[in-house]
Amino acid sequence: MEVDAAEETERDVVVIHDADAEDRAEERSVGDESAGDGAGLDGEVAPGGDARSMAELMSVIEALVFVSEEPLTAKTLAEVLGEERGWVEVAAQELAKEFNERNGGLMMREVAGGWQIATRVEYHEQVRAYLKSRPSAKLSLAALETLAVIAYKQPVTVPEILEIRGVQSSSAIKTLLEKRLIVAKGRKEVVGRPMLYGTSKEFLLQFGLRDLSELPNIEDFEDLAGGSS
């Protein structure tokens, strides 16, 4: 695509000259004036036959950078959007500047040659606090299996779980105990007096059950399975 000078006037860059936006940005700006001002961009237009305005280009770049797993290069952006790379670079720079001036919770930065949206460093403490506050990790398959055996066979001992699952389950049991999904329920009066395990109230809570009788049984499952045969 080539820059077509004839079309320049019509495609002026709205966003850059948006006085309100600048005012808002200034209000919030941390005094980061040097990060670049719009002056150099004056008069630039989207080249080629595409009628996308600068504002539109910035928006679609924002959406793409947001969904991209990897930092998104101007080259890729240009290819996906069918825009000229130089133009895409201008728009991405401008978008990053807008992020910066907005001084919100997010920033757009260039990393490993591509663009990326990330949280602003100032808020990392709160971000960490939030991440820590989240309930503990998902159950692994081993833990889920062990939990299923305990739920349906309780009270049950470790050797019995081993017998049913055919694999050692001790680390899964430890995880489940830590998550308070299972609790010790006394000892079985056999040789070695192994500990008996059953599900906890936390288990009922997490699975939305009033009591254990609400666990679906094989018949419930077969009722449903019957329909698909």
Partner 1 sequence: MPDSPSDAAAGASADAEVDAPVQPSAGDAAPAKQNDAPVMLNVAGAAPEIVMESGESGEEMNLHLGEFAGPLDLLLYLIRQEQVDIYDIPIARITEVYLSHVRAMRELDVSAASEFLVMAAQLIEIKSRMLLPPDPTAAGEEDQEDPRRELVDRLLEHQKFKAAASMLWSRATVEQAVFGRAPIETDKSNPEVAVGVFDLLRVFQEILARKKEEVMMEIERDEVTMTEMLERLRNMIMSAGELNLRHFFERAGNRRELVLAFLSVLELVRTTEVRLFQRETFGEIVLRVVS
Interface of this chain with a second copy, residues 181 to 210, rule: CB under 8 A: 183-187, 193, 195, 200-202, 205, 208-210
Give the footprint of a second copy on residues 125-144 (CB under 8 A). 126-127, 129-131, 133
Query: Is residue 172 close enough to count as binding partner 1 by CB under 8 A?
Result: yes
Q: Which stretch binds a second copy (CB under 8 A): 29-37, 84-92, 173-181?
A: 173-181
| Burial per residue of 13-46, b for 16 or more beta-carbon CB atoms within 10 angstroms, e otherwise | bebbeeeebbeebeeeeeeeeeeeeeeebeebbb
Q: Hey, what are 138's tokens?
A: 């998902």
The answer for residues whose C-beta is within 8 angstroms of residue 83's C-beta and 6 or more apart is 1, 46, 48, 50, 52, 57, 77
Distance CA 157, CA 48 (A): 73
Strands 156-157 and 195-199, by their bridges, are antiparallel
For residue 3, the partner it binds in partner 1, a second copy, none, with Cβ less than 5 to 8 A by kind, is a second copy
| 76 scored as a contact of a second copy (CB under 8 A) | yes
108 binds a second copy (CB under 8 A): no
Residue 188, classified by CB atoms within 10 Å of its CB into exposed (0-12), middle (13-18) or buried (19+), is middle
Tokens 């002056």 -> residue: 39
Nearer to partner 1, 58 or 183 (CB): 183
User: In the structure encoding, which two tokens stand for residue 58, read together?
Assistant: 């910035």
Nearest to 119 by CA among 104, 134, 97, 129: 104
Site for a second copy in 12-31 (CB under 8 A): 24, 27-28
| Shortest distance (Å) from residue 33 CB to partner 1 | 27
Of the candidate spans 29-37, 86-94, 169-177, the one that interacts with a second copy by CB under 8 A turns out to be 169-177
The Cα 108–Cα 117 span in angstroms is 4
- Tell me whether residue 85 or residue 153 sits nearer to partner 1 (CB atom): 153
Residues between 72 and 131 with contacts to partner 1, criterion CB under 8 A: 116-121, 124, 127, 131
- What 3-state DSSP class applies to 157? strand
Q: Judged by CB under 8 A, which stretch of 30-38, 52-60, 95-103, 162-170 contacts partner 1?
A: 162-170
Residue 119, interface with a second copy (CB under 8 A)?
A: yes
Residues binding partner 1 (CB under 8 A): 63, 66-70, 116-121, 124, 127, 131, 134-145, 147-149, 151-152, 164-172, 175, 177, 179-181, 183-184, 200, 206-209, 214-222, 224-229
